C-alpha cells in the first residue's frame, strides 16, 4: 500500500501519465453511460474527462496567447475538441463529444510519452551529475574528517579508499591504483595512476588507497566544467530549431486562417452542409498542426549530445552537433594534438667504445640537475639504470650542461657546445645526427673528459731529477671523448595516422597541420601521418588567418587544438575541437567540442554522430511533413474522422520523438 507522501511523489513525477489515465477512465465511463442511454451521466462524466485531460494544454496555450500574443498548437487542439463537443450538442449527435474527448485523451497520452522520452535523454545527460561527491575525507591536524566539497581549499590532503569515487580533481602524493575513468573520458579500460599523476573528480578508484593533494578549487574540476557545459547545451536552441519555432508561429496563424476559410467557403462553393464544414474545419485544425515537425529536431539533438557525453565527446550545444557532420576540412595543431606534447628519447647511438647504457647513464647524471624538458626526457629514459647525480653542475642556457661524475667531467649539449671540448667529433655520428635532425628530432651530444695520456715529462727548467738533470713532474693532460648521441622528439600519438586515414575515408577533403615549429620538423611529422598540407612557424594570429583562408575554400572547417595559442583559431573555426585532458582552460572554454580523453579517434566518432544526427533529423522532418500532407488529403476527401486524424497526428509526433531517441544507442 502506498503511503500518502509516496502517492504524492508518484503523481508529481508522473503527472502527465496520471492525467491521461484518469481522463481515459472518465472517457470510458461516459461512453459506457451513453451506450446504455444514460445521457445525463454521460454529459456529466465526459466534461470531467475534458477538464482533466486538457487542463495543462489549455493553460499552456492560453499563457502563450496572452503573454506572447502567439497561437500555440496546444490551444488549437483544445479549440478543435471543444468545437467537436459543441457540434455534437447542437446536432444532438453525442458521439461527436466522444470524438472530442478522444482527441484530448490521445493528445494527453502523446504528451506523456514525449515527456518520458525527453526524460530518458535528460537522465542520460544528468547521469554526469551523479558522479559528483558531496563530501571528501581530508587529513587535518593529523586526523581524518569528512567535510563538504565546497569547503575544500587548495593544498588540502584527501584520502580516497579503494572503491570510492574521486571527490575532486587533485594530484596523487602517495599511493598507486587503477582508476576507471569511463564516465569522464570514455576510456573503456582502467588507467594506472601513481605519485605525481592527476586524477579527476567522478572517476572510480580501484584497489589501492590514495592520498591526494588539491591543486585547484573544486569548482574548477573537469567534471564541474562538463556539467556546466552540458547544462548550457540543454538551454541553447540551435539554428535549425529556432527556424522551426519561427516557422511554427507563422504556420499556426496560417492554420487558423485556413480553418476559418474551410468553415466558410465549402458551403458556398461545393454545397457542403454547415455541420460537415464545421467538422472538416475542426479535423483540419488537428491534422494540420505541426506538432511532429516541432518534435523532429530537439529530441534528436539532445539524444546526440547524451550519446557523445557517454563516449567522452562533449558537445557544448546542438548547433555544433549539426555542424560537425558538415565539416569538409580539418586543421590540426601539432604539439599536444597530433603529438603527445611530451618529449621522449627515441634513439641512443653510442660510439664503438661504449654502450647505450653508458651514454644514457652519463647524460642522466648531469641532466638530473636540469629542469630543461630535454633533460627530463633523458632522465626518464634512464629510470631503470643505475647512476648517480652529478656534482659541480654548471648549465649554459641554450647550449648544454657540464658536471662531475665519479671525478670525471661529463658534457651534454649541442654539437657546437661539445666542439669546444672535443677537437674532432666522430664523422659517422655527425652524419647520423644530420639525418636525425632532418626527421625533426633534437640531437644531444654526450662527451666525457678523462685524465690520462699526454706527455710523461719534459726536460729542462724543472726539478732536479734522479740523475741530477732538471726534470718536470709528470703532467697528466685531459682527453675528451664523445660517448655518443641521444635523439629526442615529441612523439606522434599512436592513433594519429590511423585517425587521419579514417577521416579521409569518411569524406574529409583536406587535412591540414598548423604549428609554430620549424618547417623541417613539421614536414617530417606530416609525412609520417599523411597530412595533406603543412603551415609551419606560425604565431597564434597566423593560425587564425590560415583558418579563414580554409573557410573561403571549404566553407565548413574544424580546428583541433589544445593550447592557449590555439584559442583564436578555435574561435574562428566553424567547429572548434579541444583536447580535454591536456587542453588549457582557455582552449576548453573557446572550443565547441571537447574530447575528454585526448583520443584523436573520437573526432571520427563525433563526425559520424553528426552525420547520423543530420540523417535522422531529415528523416523526422520527412515523416512529419508526409503525415501532415496525407492527413490533409484524407480530410478534404472526407475519408477520415476526427479520432483518426488525432491518431495520425499524435502518432506521427510520438514516432519522430522515438526516432530521435535512436541516437541514445551507440
Give pLDDT, residue 558: 93
Give the model's confidence band at 585: pLDDT under 50 very low, under 70 low, under 90 confident, else very high: low
Per-chain mean pLDDT for the chain: 80
pTM over 0.85: no
Q: What is the DSSP letter of 7?
A: H
Give pLDDT, residue 3: 54
345-348-354-355 Cα dihedral, nearest 10 degrees: 80
Place of cell 455541420: 275
Q: What is the DSSP letter of 152?
A: -
Give pLDDT, residue 470: 41
pLDDT at 365 over 50: yes
pLDDT at 320 over 80: yes
Give pLDDT, residue 187: 52
Give pLDDT, residue 453: 43
Which stretch of 383-387, 527-531, 638-642 has the lowest confidence by average pLDDT?
A: 638-642
Give pLDDT, residue 97: 83
Exposed/middle/buried for 137, CB within 10 Å: 0-12, 13-18, 19+?
Answer: middle
Residues 34-59 have a mean pLDDT of: 86
Give pLDDT, residue 471: 41
Place of cell 566553407: 555
Give the model's confidence band at 534: pLDDT under 50 very low, under 70 low, under 90 confident, else very high: very high
Distance CA 538, CA 519 (A): 10
Phi, psi torsion values for 165, nearest 5 degrees: -80, 145
Give the model's confidence band at 441: pLDDT under 50 very low, under 70 low, under 90 confident, else very high: confident
Give 357's contacts (C-beta < 8 A, 6+ positions apart). Answer: 385
pLDDT at 34 over 50: yes
pLDDT at 233 over 60: no
pLDDT at 465 over 50: no
**Per-range mean pLDDT, top range of 262-271, 347-356, 573-582:** 347-356
Give 123's contacts (C-beta < 8 A, 6+ positions apart). Answer: none
Residues 329-347 have a mean pLDDT of: 85
Residues 274-297 have a mean pLDDT of: 79
Catalytically active residues, by annotation: 333
pLDDT in tens, 501-525: 999 999 999 999 998 777 887 888 8
Q: How far is CA 285 from CA 50, 155, 265, 412, 649, in A?
A: 18, 65, 16, 84, 10
133 close to 73: Cβ distance less than 8 angstroms: no
Which stretch of 222-236, 466-480, 496-510 has the lowest confidence by average pLDDT?
A: 466-480
Q: What is the DSSP letter of 621?
A: H
pLDDT in tens, 148-179: 888 888 888 999 988 888 888 889 998 888 88
Exposed/middle/buried for 502, CB within 10 Å: 0-12, 13-18, 19+?
Answer: middle
pLDDT at 91 over 50: yes
Per the rule left: phi > 0, alpha: psi between -120 and 50, beta: everything else, 407 is: left
Give pLDDT, residue 463: 40
pLDDT at 474 over 50: no
Write out 77-96 in H/E/C secondary structure. Answer: HHHHHHHHHHHHHHHCCCHH
pLDDT at 116 over 80: no
Place of cell 603527445: 340
Distance CA 594, CA 315 (A): 7
Rg (CA), the chain: 37
pLDDT in tens, 542-554: 888 899 999 999 9
Q: Are strands 329-333 and 510-514 parallel, antiparallel or unpaired?
A: parallel
Give 196's contacts (C-beta < 8 A, 6+ positions apart). Answer: 171, 172
Write out 33-99 in H/E/C secondary structure. Answer: HHHHCCHHHHHHHHHHHHHHHHHHHHHHHHHHHHHHCCCCHHHHHHHHHHHHHHHHHHHCCCHHHHH
Give the model's confidence band at 373: pLDDT under 50 very low, under 70 low, under 90 confident, else very high: confident
pLDDT in tens, 413-435: 988 888 888 878 888 999 999 88
Q: What percent of the chain has pLDDT over 90?
A: 16
Give the model's confidence band at 229: pLDDT under 50 very low, under 70 low, under 90 confident, else very high: low
Write b or e for each residue in 363-393: b if 16 or more Cβ atoms lie within 10 A of its Cβ, otherwise e.
bbbbbbbbeeebbebbbebbeeeebeebeeb
pLDDT at 189 over 60: no
DSSP H/E element including 635: helix 601-636
Residues 197-219 have a mean pLDDT of: 84
Give the model's confidence band at 119: pLDDT under 50 very low, under 70 low, under 90 confident, else very high: low
Q: What percent of the chain has pLDDT over 70?
A: 82
Give pLDDT, residue 607: 94
CA max distance for the chain: 150
Give pLDDT, residue 58: 79
Distance CA 291, CA 248 (A): 9
Give pLDDT, residue 650: 74
Residue bearing the bigger pLDDT, 345 or 309: 345
Give pLDDT, residue 244: 67
Give pLDDT, residue 508: 94
pLDDT at 589 over 80: no
Give the model's confidence band at 37: pLDDT under 50 very low, under 70 low, under 90 confident, else very high: confident
Bridge partners of residue 396, in order along the sequence: 400
Phi, psi torsion values for 80, nearest 5 degrees: -65, -40
pLDDT at 576 over 80: yes
Give the model's confidence band at 309: pLDDT under 50 very low, under 70 low, under 90 confident, else very high: confident
80 close to 278: Cβ distance less than 8 angstroms: no
Amino acid at each position: 500500500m502506498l503511503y500518502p507522501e509516496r502517492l504524492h511523489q508518484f503523481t508529481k513525477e508522473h503527472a502527465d501519465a496520471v492525467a491521461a489515465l484518469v481522463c481515459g477512465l472518465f472517457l470510458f465511463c461516459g461512453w459506457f453511460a451513453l451506450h446504455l442511454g444514460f445521457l445525463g451521466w454521460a454529459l456529466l462524466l465526459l466534461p470531467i474527462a475534458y477538464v482533466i485531460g486538457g487542463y495543462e494544454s489549455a493553460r499552456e496555450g492560453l499563457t502563450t496567447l496572452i503573454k506572447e500574443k502567439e497561437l500555440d498548437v496546444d490551444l488549437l487542439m483544445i479549440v478543435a475538441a471543444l468545437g467537436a463537443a459543441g457540434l455534437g450538442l447542437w446536432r444532438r449527435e453525442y458521439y461527436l463529444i466522444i470524438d472530442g474527448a478522444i482527441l484530448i485523451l490521445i493528445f494527453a497520452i502523446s504528451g506523456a510519452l514525449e515527456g518520458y522520452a525527453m526524460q530518458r535523454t535528460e537522465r542520460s545527460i544528468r547521469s554526469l551529475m551523479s558522479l559528483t561527491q558531496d563530501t571528501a575525507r581530508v587529513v587535518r591536524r593529523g586526523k581524518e574528517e569528512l567535510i563538504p566539497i565546497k569547503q575544500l581549499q587548495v593544498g588540502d590532503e584527501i584520502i580516497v579508499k579503494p572503491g570510492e569515487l574521486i571527490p575532486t580533481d587533485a594530484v596523487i602524493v602517495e599511493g598507486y591504483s587503477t582508476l576507471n575513468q569511463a564516465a569522464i573520458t570514455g576510456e573503456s579500460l582502467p588507467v594506472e595512476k601513481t605519485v605525481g599523476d592527476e586524477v579527476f573528480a567522478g572517476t572510480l578508484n580501484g584497489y589501492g588507497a590514495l592520498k591526494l593533494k588539491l591543486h585547484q578549487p573544486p569548482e574548477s574540476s573537469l567534471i564541474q566544467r562538463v556539467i556546466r557545459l552540458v547544462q548550457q547545451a540543454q538551454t541553447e536552441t540551435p539554428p535549425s530549431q529556432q527556424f522551426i519555432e519561427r516557422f511554427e508561429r507563422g504556420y499556426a496563424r496560417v492554420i487558423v486562417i485556413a480553418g476559418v476559410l474551410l468553415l466558410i467557403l465549402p458551403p458556398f462553393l461545393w454545397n457542403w452542409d454547415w455541420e460537415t464544414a464545421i467538422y472538416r474545419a475542426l479535423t483540419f485544425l488537428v491534422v494540420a498542426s505541426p506538432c511532429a515537425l516541432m518534435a523532429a529536431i530537439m529530441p534528436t539533438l539532445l539524444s546526440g549530445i547524451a550519446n557523445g557525453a557517454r563516449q567522452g565527446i562533449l558537445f557544448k550545444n546542438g548547433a555544433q552537433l549539426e555542424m560537425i557532420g558538415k565539416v569538409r576540412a580539418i586543421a590540426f595543431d601539432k604539439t599536444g594534438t597530433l603529438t603527445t606534447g611530451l618529449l621522449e628519447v627515441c634513439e641512443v647511438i653510442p660510439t664503438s667504445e661504449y654502450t647505450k647504457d653508458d651514454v644514457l647513464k652519463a647524460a642522466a647524471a648531469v641532466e638530473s640537475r636540469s629542469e630543461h624538458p630535454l633533460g627530463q626526457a633523458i632522465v626518464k629514459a634512464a629510470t631503470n639504470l643505475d647512476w648517480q647525480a652529478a656534482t659541480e653542475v654548471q648549465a649554459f642556457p641554450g647550449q648544454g650542461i657540464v658536471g662531475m661524475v665519479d671525478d670525471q667531467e661529463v658534457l651534454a649539449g649541442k654539437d657546437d657546445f661539445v666542439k669546444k671540448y672535443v677537437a674532432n667529433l666522430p664523422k659517422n655520428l655527425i652524419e647520423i645526427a644530420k639525418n636525425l635532425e632532418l626527421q625533426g628530432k633534437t640531437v644531444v651530444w654526450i662527451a666525457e673528459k678523462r685524465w690520462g695520456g699526454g706527455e710523461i715529462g719534459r726536460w729542462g727548467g724543472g726539478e732536479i731529477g734522479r740523475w741530477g738533470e732538471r726534470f718536470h713532474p709528470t703532467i697528466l693532460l685531459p682527453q675528451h671523448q664523445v660517448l655518443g648521441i641521444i635523439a629526442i622528439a615529441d612523439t606522434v600519438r599512436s592513433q594519429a595516422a590511423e585517425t587521419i586515414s579514417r577521416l579521409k575515408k569518411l569524406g574529409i577533403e583536406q587535412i591540414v597541420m598548423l604549428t609554430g615549429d620549424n618547417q623541417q620538423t613539421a614536414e617530417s611529422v606530416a609525412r609520417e601521418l599523411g597530412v595533406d598540407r603543412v603551415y609551419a612557424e606560425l604565431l597564434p594570429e597566423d593560425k587564425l588567418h590560415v583558418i579563414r583562408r580554409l573557410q573561403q575554400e571549404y566553407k565548413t572547417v574544424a580546428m583541433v587544438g589544445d593550447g592557449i595559442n590555439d584559442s583564436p583559431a578555435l574561435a574562428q573555426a566553424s567547429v572548434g575541437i579541444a583536447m580535454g585532458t591536456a587542453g588549457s582552460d582557455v582552449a576548453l572554454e573557446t572550443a565547441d567540442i571537447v574530447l575528454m580523453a585526448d583520443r584523436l579517434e573520437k573526432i571520427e566518432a563525433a563526425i559520424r554522430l553528426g552525420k547520423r544526427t543530420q540523417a535522422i533529423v531529415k528523416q523526422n522532418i520527412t515523416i512529419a511533413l508526409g503525415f501532415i500532407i496525407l492527413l490533409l488529403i484524407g480530410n478534404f476527401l472526407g475519408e477520415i474522422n476526427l479520432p483518426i486524424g488525432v491518431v495520425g497526428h499524435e502518432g506521427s509526433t510520438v514516432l519522430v520523438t522515438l526516432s530521435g531517441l535512436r541516437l541514445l544507442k551507440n
